[in-house]
Every structure is written in C-alpha cells, then in structure tokens.
Amino acid sequence: MLEVEGLKMHFPIRAGVFGGVVGHVHAVDGVSFDVGEGETVGLVGESGCGKTTVGRSVLRLLKPTAGRIRLEGEDITHLGNRALRSHRRRMQIIFQDPFSSLDPRMKARDIVGELLDVRGVARGAERDERVEALFERVGLRRDQLSNYPHEFSGGQRQRLGIARALSLNPRLIVCDEPVSALDVSIQAQVINLLMDLKRELSLSYLFIAHDLAVVEHISDRVAVMYLGRIVEFARAKDLFENPQHPYTESLLAAVPSTDPGRRQRRRLLQGDVPSPINRPSGCHFHPRCPYATEQCREEDPQLKPVAEGHLAACHLR
Ligand code: SF4
C-alpha cells in the first residue's frame, strides 16, 4: 500500500536581517518503511522525534527534502497539487485533537459531507444518505446530525473526525495520536472502532503515537523513532517481547506489564531528547544509552536485520 524510502525532511533555520540559512533542523533523516494492505504499522517515539512529520510527508502535506514515497506502487513524491488531488482521496488523516480540527461553525452533517461536496462525489439525497450511513457506522446518532462540534463529547468528536476521514473511501489512513487527548475509558472504544473499520473496509493505518500500550494493541508491526530516524522495526509481538534496541527497552520500561521477564530487562530512560539541530555524534542515542562505548560515540549504526523481519540500529546487535 505504502512504501517510504530514505525520506528526509530538513527545515532551514534562518537568522539575521537578510534571513540567511544558518543551519537545519533534521526533523526526519533517512526513514524507510512500508505498510501492507490491511496492515497497521505503529510509529512511536518521544515528542519531537519526527513521527508527525513523517505522517504529514507521507500524505504530501509537506514536500520532502529527499527520498521516495509510493502509494499502491505509484511514486507520489514530486507530484504537484493538481496531480495529487486524485491520490488524496485514497489517503486521509485523523488528527489528535478533534476539537481544533473541526470547524466550530459547521453542523456535523456538513463536517462529514464536506469532502463529498468539494470533490463532487455525491450530491442531494445521495450525499445525505452517505453522510447518515457514515454517521451510524462510527456510532453516532442520526438526531445529532444538526449539532455543532461543541455539542459532542471528546470521544464523539473523534468519531466525527473518523466519519469525515472515511467519506471518500480511503485505502490508507494516517492516525496522528488519535486517542491521546481522550480519557482512558474512551480511548479503548475509539481504538476498537478503528480496528473494526480496518477489518471491514480492508484499511491500512499508519498509527502514530507515544503511548506504547495503545500501539501494542492495534499494530501488526511497529517502528520506533529517535531523533528523526527509525532505530527498530519489527512485528509488534517481537518488538514488545524481545526489544533489540536500548531505546526501545527504555520506552517499554514506562509501560506497565505483568510479565516478570519484561519487567526485569527494563531500564528507565535518562535525560531529554537532544536537539535535532545539534545531534550527538555517532549513535545519536549514546548520551542516554547505558551501554554506550567509544565506538558508539564515533560511528553511526545502520538499521540492519537482527532476526527474521526484525531490524535494529545498534552496534551491540
Ligand atoms: Fe547504545 Fe551504542 Fe547501541 Fe547506540 S549503538 S544504542 S549507544 S549500544
């Protein structure tokens, strides 16, 4: 469904009266992964690691500095806005904060039907029928169709965002922290809805989150990002039971577990994420890594296979 190869997103830093470029923020720095048909790939990491930038680049809301993005085999990396229009139907996004992503002046029926109107996909009675069907499919009631966003609860607003994202029958949905603004009890309901929709509609998800417990539940495979790069990529079960990168180990330390094996292996993460402007030499994780050696300070480890279907970027593997 989606192939991303060597994706880079560098933002220039300008300073001085003439706004000259004095450096770059390496928000995403050579990321490669794929998402299969009907698959969910989780993208995790601390805030500022570049995962949201990856999601937006994939949707071509940002123009990548380098790399390649293919959707169903077609290269969309350099397409202009006009050519992108037809592809945009196939990929949609669900945002973290449903309140700020929904127009407060629009009625729910118009929020869900807006993309149908803009694309001229359905009009009149057919459009209304589709909106009503989407509304019910995401668990909202028909008598709420004329309500405004503020009349819905947080979970209902996220359902509204999901209905809108589904309106053009997409194949791939980028879910950008879709439940992190919701109460824990509501999170489970929204996650279950997303999983049901994936099964029914054969959707593919790129699921961006910092909460590993949520990612473990929903993902088939998981990629862990640190300072703009993927440091580990594996099937969810393998990654959670047998993490190969010290950063993944540390992230997992924060996830409650009843498995004593899991608990024993874990060390809590020390320090903050370094700046993506001034990245540490060698392995970017070395200032925080309890196993760092001289080699780690000097050489940048490459992402390589450490077991079947399991990649990690660490000199110790
Ligand atoms: Fe730690 Fe070295 Fe592995 Fe980096 S390469 S994660 S510093 S052991």
Cα distance between residue 109 and residue 128, in whole Å: 8
Whether 112 is in a domain gets the answer no
The Cα-based distances of 199 to 88, 134, 137, 195, 204 in angstroms read 22, 16, 13, 6, 10
Give the pLDDT confidence score for residue 276 in this predicted structure: 78
Q: What are the pLDDT digits (tens) for 121-169?
A: 778 888 889 999 999 999 999 999 999 999 998 899 999 999 999 999 9
Give the pLDDT confidence score for residue 29 in this predicted structure: 92
DSSP three-state, residue 165: helix
The answer on pLDDT for 260 being more than 70 is: no
The answer on pLDDT for 238 being more than 90 is: yes
Which of 291, 297, 311 to mutate to test ligand 1, by most ligand atoms within 8 A of the CB atom? 291
Q: Is 105 exposed, middle or buried (0-12, 13-18, 19+ CB in 10 A)?
A: exposed
Count: domains in the chain: 1
Kindly indicate the confidence band of residue 118, based on its pLDDT and cuts at 50, 70 and 90. Answer: confident
Distance 283 CA to ligand 1 centre (A): 6
Which of 248, 250, 296, 298 to mutate to test ligand 1, by most ligand atoms within 8 A of the CB atom? 296
Pocket of ligand 1 (CB under 6 A): 245-246, 283, 285-286, 289, 291-292, 296, 301, 314-316
Kindly indicate the confidence band of residue 254, based on its pLDDT and cuts at 50, 70 and 90. Answer: confident
Alpha carbon of residue 148 to chain centroid: 28
Whether 180 is in a domain gets the answer yes
The answer on pLDDT for 266 being more than 60 is: no
Kindly indicate the confidence band of residue 259, based on its pLDDT and cuts at 50, 70 and 90. Answer: low
Closest residue CA from atom 5 of ligand 1? 314
Whether 22 is in a domain gets the answer yes
Q: Tell me, what DSSP letter sits at residue 168?
A: T
Pairing of strands 204-209, 172-176: parallel
Give the pLDDT confidence score for residue 267 in this predicted structure: 61
pLDDT mean across residues, the chain: 89
Which of 244, 293, 297, 300 to mutate to test ligand 1, by most ligand atoms within 8 A of the CB atom? 293
Whether 48 is in a domain gets the answer yes
The number of beta carbons lying within 10 Å of the beta carbon of residue 258 is: 6
Buried b (16+ CB within 10 A) or exposed e, 297-306: eeeebebeeb
Whether 108 is in a domain gets the answer no
Q: What are the pLDDT digits (tens) for 175-195?
A: 998 888 888 888 999 999 999
Whether 67 is in a domain gets the answer yes
**Considering the entire predicted model, what is its pTM?**
0.90
| CATH number of the domain residue 37 falls in | 3.40.50.300
Q: Quick one: what percent of the chain has pLDDT higher than 90?
A: 60
Q: Tell me, what DSSP letter sits at residue 36?
A: -
Distance 81 CA to ligand 1 centre (A): 41
Give the pLDDT confidence score for residue 263 in this predicted structure: 56
Kindly indicate the confidence band of residue 89, based on its pLDDT and cuts at 50, 70 and 90. Answer: confident
Q: Work out which ligand 1 atom sits closest to the CA atom of 291.
A: 8
Whether 60 is in a domain gets the answer yes
Distance 23 CA to ligand 1 centre (A): 26
Give the pLDDT confidence score for residue 31 in this predicted structure: 95
Question: From edge to edge, which strands make up the β-sheet containing 2-15?
Answer: 20-35, 2-15, 66-71, 74-75
Distance 285 CA to ligand 1 centre (A): 6
Kindly indicate the confidence band of residue 11, based on its pLDDT and cuts at 50, 70 and 90. Answer: confident
Cα distance between residue 311 and residue 209, in whole Å: 20
Whether 278 is in a domain gets the answer yes
Of 167, 40, 70, 37, residue with least CA distance to 109: 167
Question: What would the 3-class secondary structure string for 6-32 be?
Answer: EEEEEEEEEECCCCEEEEEEEEEEEEE
Domain of 239, in residue numbers: 2-90+170-312
Q: Which of 67-71, 88-92, 156-160 shows the lowest per-residue confidence on average (mean pLDDT)? A: 88-92
